[in-house]
Structure 1
Amino acid sequence: MSKKNNNFLSIENIIKNKNLKMNFMQIRFFLLYNNYKKYLNYNINKIKESNNIFNKIKDMYFFLRKKNFFYKKKKKINIIL
């Protein structure tokens, strides 16, 4: 059960990998999966305006970080691709 699933990537890796293909629905799924329901409607227009996927992920990540969403202790944030 504690075996790591290779289909999961940390959001830090997603941000580093600019070639990663991810659409808006996958971003929403990431938020739902991690129980970030109150952020699902965060600046949806801003995210849609972003000209590439990398910026969408980055915008969401830094928004959540700014809101102190991540623990100070390193917490693994995963997303299913």
Structure 2
Amino acid sequence: MNRTDALDMVRESISTVIPDADVTVLGPDDAFRDVLEMDSLDFLSFVEALSERSGVRIDDEDTTRLTTLAGSADFLVARTQ
């Protein structure tokens, strides 16, 4: 998976959880939980959606890397190579 595909997958996963979220306003290093006001359940749903879409297992200790678009994309790219 390349970085562009990973970023698209992260945006799609966020949109699945928060359909009315405008993911186009998110910068690569914005903490999207804060910007989109995601609560804990929303974030858990995002992690599950991202795992299902990517086929990548995401453990609890990995979630700290999934707070920004860039961090999430880097995580996916590293796990799929």
Normalising by the smaller structure, the TM-score range is 0.3 to 0.5
TM (normalized to structure 1)?
Answer: 0.36
- Structure with higher Rg: it is 1
TM (normalized to structure 2)?
Answer: 0.36
Structure with the bigger percentage of strand: 1
Tell me which of the two structures has the higher relative contact order, counting C-alpha pairs closer than 8 angstroms and 6 or more residues apart: 1
Structure with the bigger percentage of helix: 2
